[in-house]
């Protein structure tokens, strides 16, 4: 397995990857986009920070790629949608650089209050100027924290220790977290109107882009001090420059920019009351060691087929959950492929119902496994846990899941129904039986059956006439196909009967034709689970 370390991560992380049996590590930092396209052609994993861009083109140039690991938080440099479609897991390390970034933010806040960088630069110039560099205090001032997640929360704590009043705006925040943090929950307008200091800590999204623009600065107090150690573009740079010029903003501290690296001629570089750092939030020894080792371990786990942690494009499943979920994922995949093989090619809905104990499990993972099973014969090797939902969406199939509390007659049961555009339903139900959780199919197309969900199944619908079992047995015997298991079902004697025959090997085309040609046979399908 080949791993490309495309941005500089901790040597300990690289070392961890090198030590894994069968892993080959290539370190190539600062490569041009063309060089990246060349480097990825035979790699199974790529480790990045925020520099190397993993675009759609890069993903297309990497047919073996399974995982992109981001040693840090923001995945803005990765085309996550394209990765998801290609079944590539994108993962980050959400907590490893929280403190480092909170501390850098606080450094910026302090430098916004007291012009230490400017005073230090003047000392280096041989000056002794005590008049030009006076400041203000943080004590009893109001700090507006926009985005009270991991980093915003740590900044708020530090501000409280400095005796600041903290207002927080975060529309997704649970009131209990705000209460626990002892911050005042506010609207964005409250913050703009009341804050002496504002700091932003959210990802750059459609909602957060230019959240602080000309109109927002209009609403602020004169002399505002503002900081961005999250993502460039949350504060509109051109509006900030104007607000600094007019005196509306007294000081600003920026670690991130609309374009990185920041243009040499950016007006921000020459403004005296602005402190700039080149995206250093996560650049501490501790944070880099933490995220570097973490991402290396996460990548190794994925490549070895183990747990998937901190994926941003699929639910993460830990080791304990995998142990519990394993048999359900297997049963789900089998039911998915079974219904696909007994139904028409075009369907409009895949409806999944869970009963009993399964209702309390992480159904999201099982639902993905069912979709992966359904797509196995349609999308082949390309389908996996990551892209199964988006492939279903591309086919225009709606996926519905129902958790039912009704009595289903089993301790646990899952049903997969496909509904065709003209409203016909094809279905399969399964459960786990015994200590080891043996997967059993207990219903096909509303007929009760009882067969182990494994290997090949001959699913037959026939008129309930004497001698059918013998006839089928003889045809299969002639074909040297051994019967492992058989289940018969009928609603009324002499009506339509259902026969599910589990076979050790696949019947030949000739044998299948012979079965289909029998006058009593209404439907005959060979299904491979």
Ligand X SMILES: O=C(O)C(=O)COP(=O)(O)O
Ligand Y SMILES: NC(=O)C1=CN([C@@H]2O[C@H](COP(=O)(O)OP(=O)(O)OC[C@H]3O[C@@H](n4cnc5c(N)ncnc54)[C@H](O)[C@@H]3O)[C@@H](O)[C@H]2O)C=CC1
Residues 67-96: x/- map of binding to ligand Y (CB under 6 A)?
-----xxx-------------------x--
Which of ligand Y, ligand X, none sits in contact with 49, Cβ below 5 to 8 A by type? ligand X
Please count the residues of the chain.
529
CA neighbours within 13 Å on the CB side: how many for 526?
17
Q: By CB under 6 A, is residue 232 in contact with ligand Y?
A: no
Longest Cα–Cα distance in the chain: 109
Which of ligand Y, ligand X, none sits in contact with 150, Cβ below 5 to 8 A by type? ligand Y
Binding range to ligand X, per CB under 6 A, among 67-75, 123-131, 408-416, 484-492: 67-75
Annotation says 201 is catalytic: no
Q: By CB under 6 A, is residue 217 in contact with ligand Y?
A: no
C-alpha–C-alpha distance, residues 112 and 228, integer Å: 12
Measured from the CB atom, is 47 or 191 closer to ligand X?
A: 47
Number of residues that bind ligand X (CB under 6 A): 10
Contact (Cβ atoms closer than 8 angstroms) between residue 266 and residue 276: no
Measured from the CB atom, is 102 or 249 closer to ligand X?
A: 102
Contact (Cβ atoms closer than 8 angstroms) between residue 350 and residue 418: yes
Catalytic residue (one of 201, 279, 372, 502): 279
C-alpha–C-alpha distance, residues 416 and 354, integer Å: 9
Q: By CB under 6 A, is residue 310 in contact with ligand X?
A: no
Q: From the list 10, 50, 341, 379, which residue makes contact with ligand X (rule: CB under 6 A)?
A: 50
Residues whose CB falls within 8 Å of the CB of residue 70, separated by 6 or more in sequence, listed in order: 48, 49, 50, 77, 78, 90, 91, 92, 93, 295
Annotation says 86 is catalytic: no
Q: By CB under 6 A, is residue 175 in contact with ligand Y?
A: no
Binding range to ligand X, per CB under 6 A, among 28-36, 54-62, 274-282, 464-472: 274-282
Comparing C-alpha atoms, which of 218, 90, 101 is closest to residue 149? 101
Q: By CB under 6 A, is residue 383 in contact with ligand X?
A: no
Which of ligand Y, ligand X, none sits in contact with 149, Cβ below 5 to 8 A by type? ligand Y
Comparing C-alpha atoms, which of 440, 438, 414 is closest to residue 427? 414
Tell me the closest approach of the beta carbon of residue 93 to ligand X, in angstroms. 8
Pull the structure tokens for residue 301.
Answer: 């786990």
Residues whose CB falls within 8 Å of the CB of residue 351, separated by 6 or more in sequence, listed in order: 399, 400, 401, 402, 415, 416, 417, 418, 419
Measured from the CB atom, is 261 or 409 closer to ligand X?
A: 261
Catalytic residue (one of 260, 289, 448, 506): 260
Residue 32 burial (C-beta neighbours within 10 Å; 0-12, 13-18, 19+): exposed
Annotation says 279 is catalytic: yes
Tell me the closest approach of the beta carbon of residue 301 to ligand Y, in angstroms. 22
Pull the structure tokens for residue 501.
Answer: 């025959």
Which spans of this chain sit near ligand X (rule: CB under 6 A)?
49-50, 72-74, 97, 279, 281-283
Which spans of this chain sit near ligand Y (rule: CB under 6 A)?
72-74, 94, 97-98, 101, 146-152, 169-173, 201-203, 207-208, 229-231, 255-256, 279, 281-282
Catalytic positions, written as ranges: 231, 260, 279
């Amino acid at each position: 397995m080949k791993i490309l370390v495309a941005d500089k991560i901790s040597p300990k992380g690289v070392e961890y990857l090198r030590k894994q049996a069968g892993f080959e590590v290539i370190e190539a930092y600062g490569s041009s986009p063309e060089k990246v396209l060349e480097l990825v052609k035979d790699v199974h994993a790529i480790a990045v920070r925020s520099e190397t861009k993993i675009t759609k083109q890069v993903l297309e140039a990497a047919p073996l790629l399974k995982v992109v690991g981001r040693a840090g938080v923001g995945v803005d440099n990765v085309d996550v949608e394209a990765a998801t479609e290609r079944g590539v897991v994108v993962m980050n390390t959400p907590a490893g650089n929280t403190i480092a970034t909170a501390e850098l933010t606080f450094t910026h806040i302090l430098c916004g209050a007291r012009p230490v960088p400017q005073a230090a630069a003047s000392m280096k110039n041989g000056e002794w100027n005590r008049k030009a560099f006076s400041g203000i205090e943080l004590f009893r001032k109001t700090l507006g924290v926009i985005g009270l997640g991991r980093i915003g929360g740590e900044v708020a704590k530090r501000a409280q220790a400095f005796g600041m009043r903290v207002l927080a705006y975060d529309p997704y925040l649970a009131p209990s977290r705000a209460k626990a943090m002892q911050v005042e929950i506010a609207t964005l307008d409250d913050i703009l109107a009341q804050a002496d200091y504002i700091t932003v800590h959210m990802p750059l999204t459609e909602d957060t882009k230019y959240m602080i623009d000309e109109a927002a600065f209009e609403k602020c107090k004169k002399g505002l001090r503002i900081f961005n150690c999250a993502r460039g573009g949350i504060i509109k740079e051109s509006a900030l420059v104007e607000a600094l010029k007019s005196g509306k903003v007294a000081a600003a501290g920026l670690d991130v920019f609309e374009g990185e690296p920041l243009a040499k001629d950016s007006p921000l570089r020459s403004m005296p009351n602005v402190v700039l750092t080149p995206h250093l939030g996560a650049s501490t020894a501790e944070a880099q060691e933490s995220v570097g080792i973490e991402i290396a371990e996460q990548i190794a786990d994925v490549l070895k087929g183990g747990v998937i942690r901190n994926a941003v494009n699929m639910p993460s499943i830990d080791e304990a959950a995998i142990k519990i979920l394993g048999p359900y994922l297997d049963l789900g995949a089998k039911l998915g492929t079974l219904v696909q093989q007994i139904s028409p090619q075009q369907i409009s809905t895949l409806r999944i119902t869970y009963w009993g104990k399964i209702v309390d499990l992480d159904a999201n993972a099982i639902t993905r496994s069912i979709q992966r099973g359904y797509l196995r014969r349609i999308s082949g090797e390309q389908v996996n846990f990551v892209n199964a939902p988006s492939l279903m969406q591309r086919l225009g199939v709606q996926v519905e899941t129902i958790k039912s509390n009704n009595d289903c007659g089993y301790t646990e049961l899952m049903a997969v129904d496909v509904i065709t555009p003209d409203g016909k339903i094809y279905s399969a139900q399964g459960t786990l039986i015994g200590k080891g959780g043996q997967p059993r199919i207990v219903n096909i197309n509303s007929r009760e059956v009882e067969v182990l969900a494994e290997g090949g199944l001959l699913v037959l619908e026939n008129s309930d006439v004497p001698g059918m079992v013998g006839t089928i047995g003889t045809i299969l015997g002639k074909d040297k196909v051994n019967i492992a298991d058989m289940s018969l079902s009928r609603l009324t004697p002499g009506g339509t009967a259902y026969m599910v025959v589990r076979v050790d090997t696949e019947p030949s085309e000739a044998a299948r034709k012979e079965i289909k040609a029998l006058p009593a046979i209404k439907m005959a399908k060979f299904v491979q689970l």
